[in-house]
Amino acid sequence: MWSPSDTPELAPPATRRPGAAMHQMLRELYPLGRSITGDGVRATLRVLATHLPAGLTAHEVPSGTQVLDWTVPPEWNIRDAYVRDAAGRRVIDFQQHNLHVVGYSTPVAGWFSRAELDEHLHSLPEQPDLIPYRTSYYSPAWGFCLAHHEREQLRDEQYEVCIDATLDPAGSLTYGQLVLPGSSDEEVLISCHICHPSLANDNLSGLVTAVGLANWLAERPRRYTYRFVFLPGTIGSITWLHEHRASAVPRIRHGLVLSLLGGPGHFTYKRSRQGAAAIDRAVALALRDAGTPHELRDFSPYGYDERQYCSPGFNLPVGCFTRTPFGEFPEYHTSADNPAFVRPRQLAQSLRLVKSLCRILEHNRSYQNLSPYGEPQLGRRGLYKNIGGGLEGQQWQLALLWVLNQSDGQHSLVDIAEKANLPFTLIRKAAKALRHAQLLAPA
């Protein structure tokens, strides 16, 4: 079980580095009891609003609403839950850890035999010290999760069970949305799931990375409009798609699902269903240029909310950006996925990567060579001497020549960076220098 003493004391806000500030936000969010509906989601959005630029809005969709092929479920809230032995001692206690209760458990109160109780217990014999994370969203059930070695110590004949929870058919599903307008109404969608309780890497690392990105973007001129959505997994993205299919969905040009960005392991990007969409190529380029170990995977209809955005009726260009993917690290969906598992350095590195990605999206465009008949004389225009930011020699010359040669109105800067095997930032600087010399114009 995680406690504040498991992580180092944080510096004052004025001196805190980005990774440390993100980690503090993660610690603030960690204790909140989230699910796919309920007050835990609302409380999480209230915390996010204090860290985000102005404009985060909470949307409530009534339970029972038909959304695509799904129905918004009753709202679930839990006040308390426990299993007590004959001496009155809480041997399983929701107040000690959110994961102790199966998510969306139906209310229950009464005494059960050890054998009856055992049918409702979940543990991990292969990881006996960890509490698993289990849910029962759409099949009414109740249950408790606990460390396996604690389960083996339950030897009383009778246990008192209480789950003080409500499933309200007059409730609602809540999701949050922040829109940062750009000079164009074409949109970049950034999506994070917000439904996991007390799981730091799976859920919260994506949220705090998105918050860091939103704050960075808010301070800069933007070509694209950026839409951040914070929603419960599966049912939340389905609800959002249902509500925005005629408005925002047609404007989405690029999209990214963020999760699992604070744990160890190299970066992993799962391509969109389209496979070679601009977002897929831009992420690959950002990872290549960063020189950090990474893996690119093809689309699969199993995973996070990218599978909803990439369903064939929408087929949006949305990929999924993580470190070690879900289910591929031993802490996944257990109490070991706590704030001590997530490192500030890893959060900061993830934020740098998504910033680099946005720079590529913002500056990628096609140009027309204004002197296409033969190679223009660059020396007399000072371009070979003006090496820009300390870059010099053959690489700078190559960047200039590649941009001139490929700028026929059909090739973008991403195309050129890929083909030339040169950093996008260098290709962009070359294009800027050539425009200044009146050798290029936007196509």
Residues of each annotated binding site for Zn(2+): 196, 202, 333
Whether 178 contacts 214, CB under 8 Å? yes
The whole-angstrom separation of Cα 144 and Cα 30 is: 20
Q: Which value, to the nearest 10 degrees, does the dihedral of the CA atoms of residues 305, 307, 311, 316 take?
A: 70
Report the C-alpha dihedral over residues 179, 185, 190, 192, rounded to 10 degrees. Answer: 50
- Strand bridging mode 90-93 / 75-84: antiparallel
Enumerate residues 6+ apart whose C-beta is below 8 A from 405: 369
Which residue from 347, 351, 371 is spatially nearest to 7, judged by alpha carbons?
347
CA distance 132 to 388: 54
Give the Cβ contact number of residue 381 at 10 Å.
16
CA–CA separation, 90 and 146 (whole Å): 12
| H-state helical runs in 39-125 | 39-51, 114-118
Q: State the DSSP H helix or E strand holding residue 270, giving kind and residue range, or none if neither.
A: strand 267-270
DSSP secondary structure code for residue 15 in this structure: G
- Distance of alpha carbon 62 from alpha carbon 40, whole angstroms: 17
Single-letter code of the amino acid located at 383: L
Ramachandran sector of residue 226 (left: φ over 0; alpha: ψ -120 to 50; beta: rest): beta
**What Å distances lie between residue 371 and 273, 399, 407, 441, CA to CA?**
39, 16, 10, 10
- Residue 389, classified by CB atoms within 10 Å of its CB into exposed (0-12), middle (13-18) or buried (19+), is exposed
Query: Whole-angstrom distance between the N-terminal and C-terminal Cα of the chain?
Result: 57
**Cα–Cα dist 297/309, whole Å:** 17
What dihedral angle (degrees, nearest 10) is formed by the CA atoms of 358, 360, 365, 370?
Answer: 140
Contact 22, 212 (CB under 8 A): yes
Question: Which residues does the annotation place in the binding site?
Answer: 196, 202, 333
